[in-house]
Amino acid sequence: MKNKRFAALALAALLLAALFAGCTFKAPATVGKVGDVEIPAGLYLLLQYNVYGRAEGLTTEEDVLKATLTVDDEEILGQDYVRRETLKAVENYAAVELLFAQLGGSLTEEELASADGYAETLWAGSQDKFSQNGIGLASLKLWMENSARAGKLLEMVYGPKGEQPVTDAELTAFIDENYARASYLALPLLDYSTYTVLDEEGDKKMQEIAGKIKAGLLADKPMAELAAEYLPDAYALLNQSFDAANAEAAVGSLLAPASQLAQYGEQAQSDLLGAKPGDVVIVDAGMNRLVCQMQAVLGDGVALEDLRVSALSEMKQEELDEALARIGEGQPHALDQSAMDRYSPKNIKP
């Protein structure tokens, strides 16, 4: 009896092995749809990989998924963050495709070639890393083409011929309030050859030099002339030299929106934005102290068209992002949870 039982079990095992040998288990090619937009598996893995990379930047823990992250004053487990933000990325991808098509958008051959070329550059630089995470060149191209469409949506929605056009008067007023333009001289606060920072006494002397330059500018002295007069003394405080013959080249130019000025600190940002043409503002900018003589943002070689794209982005990008989030969230979600589980972030190879 025992021999018959073992024989039966052995036969069953052989039949099962034969059955499996004739089957090929394939990973799902798609994780489903958001609206009418299909999300290929490789694209899903790429979006998830990007989010995982952001999560890595939010913690020093080796196991990102088990780490507690702080995001906008909220504490969230790494795996929950990756899951949530990946879904948002999927929804945003779909929303861009849907809105772009709704508005009758198209990419030119040049734009497509540029997007695909950038994807190929990324692939060439990190092919092994992408491949071991299940991401192919085709997925990179989908992502970059979607990014190109997203870049055109701002103009399609808010440009002069857009669905909700921003007038030139509105854009000009925004630029006047949210951009700063200046010529400046940069006084060094760090010796890059030795990474020596000015001590307290040296910093005080540098402040005095900045004050003298400011007084000269307010007295209508040319900035290059002041550079030739004072920069040799400024550089000498760090045991460096400055050739007065380079005075013209030492005059820098600043033209930036509030978002970029924020790098100098809230007070400096406020001072630069609030200053009038002709005013002089002194700003500590990390390794340099800038003595800035303010100018009107528009005029004297800077036209509205030169800043239109930048200003539209500063003015309306957040609003567009919120609209895309609503579109993505509002679409029917036919996503395959089992497929997404199959492509778990636990399988990511950093």
Adjacent-strand bridge partners of 203 = none
Check: CB of residue 288 under 8 Å from CB of residue 189: yes
Using CA atoms, how far apart are residues 193 and 287, in angstroms rounded to an integer?
13
pLDDT score at 286 = 83
Mean pLDDT of the chain: 92
pLDDT over 70 for what percent of the chain?
93
pLDDT for residue 234 is more than 70: yes
| Overall average pLDDT of the 294-317 stretch | 96
Please provide the DSSP assignment of 97-146 as one string: HHHHHHTT----HHHHHHHHHHHHHHHHHHHHHHHHTT--HHHHHHHHHH
Contact (Cβ atoms closer than 8 angstroms) between residue 335 and residue 34: yes
pLDDT tens column, 112-162: 999 999 999 999 999 999 999 999 999 999 999 999 999 999 999 999 999
Whether pLDDT at 348 is above 60: yes
Alpha carbon distances (Å) from 235 to 34, 66, 232, 247: 59, 50, 5, 13
- Tell me which DSSP letter residue 30 carries: E
Task: Kindly tell me if the per-residue pLDDT of 43 is higher than 60.
Answer: yes
Mean pLDDT value across residues 319-342 = 97
Q: pTM for the complete prediction?
A: 0.82
Cα separation, 348 vs 124, in Å, equals 20
Whole-angstrom CA distances from 53 to 59, 64, 81, 317, 330 are 11, 9, 11, 23, 27
Helix (H, G, I), strand (E, B) or coil at 4: helix
What pLDDT, on the 0 to 100 scale, is given for residue 325?
A: 98
How distant is the alpha carbon of residue 263 from its chain centre? Answer: 15
pLDDT value, residue 84: 97
Per-residue pLDDT for 17 more than 80? no
What are the structure tokens assigned to 229, written together?
A: 């007069």
pLDDT of residue 23: 42
CB-based contacts of 258, cutoff 8 Å, min separation 6: 178, 179, 269, 273, 314
One-letter amino acid at 261 equals L
Q: Is the pLDDT of residue 6 over 50?
A: no
Following DSSP, what letter does each residue of 69-97 receive, concatenated?
EEETTEEEEHHHHHHHHHHHHHHHHHHHH
What pLDDT score does 18 carry?
38
pLDDT of 344 higher than 80: yes
Among candidate residues 144, 96, 148, 137, the one with its CA nearest the CA of residue 118: 144
Integer Cα distance of 166 and 312 in angstroms: 8
Predicted local confidence at residue 7, as pLDDT = 46
pLDDT score recorded for residue 196: 81
Query: Is 184 in contact with 293 (CB distance < 8 Å)?
Result: yes
